[in-house]
Amino acid sequence: MDQRLTTIPARRGAAAHVRRGQTVRVVNTHGDQVVDTWAFNAADMTEHLSMEHSRAGILKVAPRVGEALLTNRRRPILTLVEGTSGGVHDMLMAACDRWRYEGLGCTAPTTIARITCTPPCRASAAMCRRRPTR
C-alpha cells in the first residue's frame, strides 16, 4: 500500500489521483481551520463533488461516517470513513473566493489572492488534467 505524506502549506492546494477503494487521509496539524476538499472524476473533469447534491442524497447537512458524498451527477465520489476533527463536517459554507471577500469589503487584490481557497483548487485540477491516469 502506497502511504505517501504530502504537506499542503496554508492557502495552497495539492492534487492526488485516487482510484476506487483507495483512501486519502486529510489531517489539519495546526488549529481549527477548515480544509476545503474537492474531488473530480478523472475521466470527465466536469463531474465533481457537489455538496448540494450530497446534502440532498443523505438528507442531512453534515455527513456521518460511512456515508457517500455525491457528484453533480448524483453519483458517489467519496465516502467519509473517519471523522476525527472534533467538529462538524460543514457542507453549507462555500469555499472562500474573491467574490466573498469583495462582498465583505476587502478590495486589496494581494490580500484576496493570499486568503482565498478557490485558486488552489483550480491549480490542482489543472495538475490533474496534465497528469496521465494509470
User: How confident is the model over 17-74, as pLDDT tens digits?
Assistant: 888 888 888 777 776 666 778 888 989 988 999 999 999 999 998 888 899 999 999 9
What H or E segment, with its residue span, contains residue 113?
Answer: helix 109-115
Contact between residue 39 and residue 78 where contact means Cβ atoms under 8 Å apart:
yes
Looking at residue 2, its pLDDT comes to 64
Three cell numbers at 114?
A: 493570499
Tell me if the pTM is above 0.85: no
pLDDT of 129 above 50? yes
Residue 79 and residue 68 in contact, taking contact as beta carbons nearer than 8 Å: yes
Q: Give the position of cell 485516487.
A: 18
> pLDDT value at position 133?
46
The pLDDT of residue 116 is 64
The phi, psi pair for 92, rounded to 5°, reads -105, -40
The three cell numbers locating residue 131? 497528469
Q: In angstroms, rounded to a whole number, what is the distance separating the alpha carbons of residues 17 and 43?
A: 11
Q: For 75-95, write each residue's pLDDT tens digit.
A: 999 998 887 777 677 777 777
